[in-house]
Amino acid sequence: MGAGERVIDCENLTRSFPSGIALDALTLDARPGEVIALLGPNGAGKTTTMRLLNGVLDPDSGRATVLGLDPWIQGEELRRRTGVLTENAGLDERFTALENLEFVGRLRGMGATETRRRGNELLERFGMSHRADVKVQGFSTGQRKRVALARALLHDPELLFLDEPTSGLDPAATRDVVDLIGSLAADRGRTVVLCTHFLGEAGKLAGRMAVLFRGVLHAFGTTADLAAQLWTGFEVRLDLGGTASRELLIRLGALPAIVQAVPTEIGALVRVGSRDDVPLVVATCVSAGATVFGVDPRDPDLEDVYFALEARAAAAGVPGAQDERGMAEGPAPDRTVDGPLVDAIGSISGDEP
């Protein structure tokens, strides 16, 4: 694809099931070498989105092109160029780790020699070479995830759909997978659609995020762009050794550069027009007799933005907007249909919201 072309371009994608609407008029895009994070609680429509875009689930309405192809007419051709990792590994218990990869390589039309070479290379990359010839039946969750990641990367796909890629992994393996995803995008120009409940890893990897609640897209963009829509000004946390006095807060609030000044346990949180206003804030505190132990100017991160969007949706009465308060701490993925062949090549015929 050309540098200026969109890898994913979808508009008004809608899909319903007997239980209700899983996705309602979704519009988003992805560019070459970009990581897009799909964020939201259970039932938000994240897995449905990935299945639609990979051409294994038909929409009720809307349109999309993925890698320049129509997912629902050219699905087989599309899936030869994409890699899929579902939240559950779905490995064949009868096979060894390497045999699971070789099986998928044959399904994809890869030669036996190339499949074995590539499979061994990937198992070594994920620290599983010592178990290449061991049946996966007794593997731990983390070991299964590593083999499944190797399987998704076996044919060097241009586009990756990753559903909870680090769930079940220990900290060292999580770091390795996050680094790998980043290098695939930055160094290899691969595009990644990342579905995760771990906001920290999404913040490290994603250029843009799409936040969904109950099938509806509530925000899509970079952290900085979404923060600018949510808040006015630049945030500064002041460590004053104790809660700021009412008099100091009034004095700070009177400054034209101050948008907001509120007390905290150790000082104050001040929102100013820009970073250039920070010295004036510090000087005002000092002239008022306060001791400034620390100044922490910071831009909102992805977690700040996500939880602000969640709170705004909940305040507007959006169902399910605060059903999953564990987003940042642990996985709680959408329900999936799993199986060795399903996970290996994405041949999923049904879904649920």
Residue 59 neighbours by CB distance under 10 Å:
20
Tens-digit pLDDT string for the chain (353 aa): 555 589 999 999 999 999 899 999 999 999 999 999 999 988 899 999 999 999 999 999 999 999 999 999 999 999 999 998 887 778 888 999 999 999 999 888 889 999 999 999 999 988 899 999 999 998 888 888 889 989 999 998 999 999 988 887 888 888 888 888 888 888 888 999 999 888 988 999 999 999 999 999 999 999 989 988 888 778 899 999 999 999 999 999 999 988 889 999 999 999 888 888 999 999 999 999 999 999 998 888 898 899 989 888 888 887 666 654 444 433 333 322 233 333 333 433 334 44
Return residue ranges of the chain for CATH 3.30.70: 232-298
Distance CA 346, CA 153 (A): 13
3-state SS assignment for residue 83: strand
Question: Could you say which of 3.40.50.300, 3.30.300.180, 3.10.129.10, 3.30.565.10 is the CATH number of the domain covering 8-227+315-345?
Answer: 3.40.50.300
Count the helix, strand and coil residues of the chain and give each as a percent rounded to the nearest 5: 35, 25, 40
- Tell me where in the chain the CATH 3.40.50.300 domain(s) lie: 8-227+315-345
pLDDT at residue number 299 = 80
10 Å CB burial of residue 327 (0-12, 13-18, 19+) is buried
CATH class of 232-298: alpha beta
Sheet holding 208-213, edge to edge: 82-85, 159-163, 191-195, 35-39, 208-213, 216-221
Whether residue 106 contacts residue 95, with contact meaning beta carbons closer than 8 Å, is answered with: no
Q: Residue 178 in contact with residue 188, Cβ under 8 Å?
A: no
CA-to-CA distance for 353 and 351, rounded, in angstroms? 7
Residue type, 353: P
Exposed e or buried b for every residue in 29-52, given b needs 16+ CB within 10 A? Answer: bbbbbbbbbbbbbebbbbbbbbbb
Whole-angstrom Cα distance, residue 319 to residue 154?
A: 40
pTM for this structure? 0.79
